[in-house]
Amino acid sequence: MARADLVALLPWILLAAAPVAVMLLVAIRRSHPATAALAGIGIVLALLALPAAVARGPSQVTPLVVVDRYGALCTGLLLTASLAVTGLAYGYLRSREVNREEFYILLLLATLGSAVLVASNHFASFFLGFEILSVSLYALIAYPRRQLNSIEAGIKYIILAGASSAFLAFGTALVYAAVGSLQFSRLAALAGSAQTQGSRMLVLTGVALLLVGIGFKLAVVPFHLWTPDVYEGAPAPVTAFIATVSKGAIVVLLLRFFNLLDPHRTGSLVTVFLLIALASMIAGNLLALLQNNVKRILAYSSIAHLGYILVAFLASGEMAVTAVTFYLAAYFVTTLGAFGVVTVLSDGDRDADSLADYRGLAWRRPWLAVVLTAMVLSLAGIPITAGFVGKFFLVAAGVESNLWLPVIVLALTSGIGLFYYLRIVIAMFSQSAESTALMTASAPVPVTGGLVLAVLTLLLFWLGVAPGSFIRMLQTMTQGLP
């Protein structure tokens, strides 16, 4: 490898070195503040190295990874979200009787797996990043070893993630048998030149199996059954990570892969994506109506939001890429903010995940109620929030490609979603005589958690009121994406 290749890989090298450094620190001296600070420093250093990595233009570093502007943008988004989760986790873990330091090692490894997925240009690096992410999440979900619901969630996730890995491995084998290559950039040309009917069937079957594996990780219908249980059982910061960084990395990989493959040439693939998008939007919103647990509401909501993203994914052109990326950024801000409030309200015994825990919150914690109200209204797509602009872009991309059916379903299901989001808001502003959840009425908000929520709230309104500069940056970074 040349020096330029090492510079291009510098963010990933620094991110890989961070968990090693944290592990050595833990071996020498256990200190929760020092460990969290070192983990945050590692993420910040990787962020600062991104401009240098893409300064020389798109770079193919071995057949495995590609370092380009779009990959750097999405890696920066993932790293920023992981930094926010680190800040939220510090206050969350401080009140719990667990070994806190190892949490950050697992979090950094999961972030590394996500970053590898974003830069992948080969099925080998794709599978490696996927497994690094999945194995780290097994332990993160079940991290509170004494809580039975966390152990149950971890077991469910490990079983289903193992099944998804099997689908991915088998699909990869079929694709390789048909075209003789595992490199994304060569796959499109080789798949298009497949001469025999048998080769074309192998490619389509392999891609279908890959979609099943990816569908489990994205939790889109019909691969969504694990989502509410895992969201409810996992620690609140881990749930925030799964909903944002884990899913965001898969979306970016899927966009990069299928942008090369051009699924619009194959009507069956477009039909599959359309059915998944429609089912996810409808089922996600309808099932959320039945929930009284905030984590489960947000879990089903995330299924619907992945369906919204697939509407733009079905569109073609640079408008679709910009719409997907902007909506990802808006979704990251709002979801991290919503789960951030859940995190800071949780105590050492359990997470504040019941609707009853938020009854009268506006009178006990006014600013937290305002933050959560802003976040759920953004998820609903109310104007002056990032969610509204994001949905506008999704609809614009769909209309530009004449995708009228998914656009109409998006609009109708967004109206349904407003009902269960408003249930949370009404609970917070309720003036009931007795709240059944006063567990955090007098506990101070952790400094790191309060700072993260303040920054996320500012970003929410900045992207909703003045998104022009960010959109121009997105258009520049996504220009020429193959």
Average the pLDDT over 184-193 and give the result.
66
Residues 6+ apart with CB under 8 A from 180: 190
Tally of domains in the chain: 1
pLDDT of residue 440: 44
Position 200: which residue type? R
Residue 439 has pLDDT above 50, yes or no: no
Mean pLDDT of the region 202-227? 87
Is it the case that residue 355 has pLDDT exceeding 90? no
The average pLDDT across 53-64 equals 78
At residue 196 the predicted structure's pLDDT band, cuts being 50, 70 and 90, is: low
Could you tell me if residue 381 is inside a domain? yes
pLDDT of 1 reads 67
pLDDT at 437: 44
State the Cα angle at 330 between 415 and 11, rounded to 5°: 155
Tell me, yes or no, whether 179 lies in a domain: no
Structure tokens that stand for 426 in this block: 């009404």
Q: Is the pLDDT of residue 194 over 70?
A: no
Report the distance separating Cα 311 and Cα 38, nearest Å: 40
Query: For position 413, what pLDDT does the model report?
Result: 92
Q: What is the mean pLDDT of the chain?
A: 86
Whether residue 373 contacts residue 475, with contact meaning beta carbons closer than 8 Å, is answered with no
Question: Per the domain annotation, does 77 fall within a domain?
Answer: no
Note the pLDDT tens digit of each residue in 217-250.
Answer: 888 988 888 889 999 989 999 999 999 999 999 9
- Single pTM value for the model: 0.92
pLDDT, tens digit, for every residue of 412-434?
A: 999 999 999 999 999 888 875 45
What tokens were used for 87?
């800040």
- Residue 417 within any structural domain of the chain: yes
Give yes or no for a contact between 165 and 134, defined as CB atoms under 8 angstroms apart.
yes
Q: How far apart are CA 263 and CA 440, in angstroms?
A: 50
Beta bridge partners of 67: 59
Where does the pLDDT of residue 476 fall: very low under 50, low under 70, confident under 90, or very high at 90 and above? confident
Give the number of other Cβ atoms within 10 Å of residue 133's Cβ. 26
pLDDT over 80 (residue 195): no
Question: Exposed e or buried b for every residue in 378-412, given b needs 16+ CB within 10 A?
Answer: bbbbbeebbbbbbbbbbbbbbeebebeebbebbee
Average pLDDT over residues 303-312: 91
* Residue 57: inside a domain: no
Is 360 inside any structural domain?
yes
Look at 22-31, 70-79, 80-89, 440-449 and tell me which has the smallest mean pLDDT.
Answer: 440-449
Give 243-270 pLDDT, tens digit per residue: 999 999 999 888 887 777 766 666 677 8
- Number of C-beta neighbours around residue 102 at 10 A: 16
Kindly state whether residue 308 falls inside one of the protein's structural domains: yes
Residue 202 has pLDDT above 90, yes or no: no
Helix axes 69-94, 468-478, angle to 10 degrees: 130
Contact indicator for 191, 179 with CB cutoff of 8 Å: yes
Task: Give the C-alpha separation, 390 to 392, whole Å.
Answer: 5
- Asked if residue 388 belongs to a domain, the reply is yes
Q: Is the pLDDT of residue 58 over 80?
A: no
In the 8-state DSSP scheme, what is residue 444? P
Which pLDDT does position 180 carry in this prediction?
Answer: 80
Q: What is the DSSP letter of 446?
A: P
Q: What type of residue is 58?
A: P
Residue 213 CA to residue 201 CA, distance in Å, equals 18
Residue 451 has a pLDDT of 93
Name the residue range of residue 389's domain: 262-482
- Nearest CA among 447, 298, 260, 479 for reference residue 380: 298
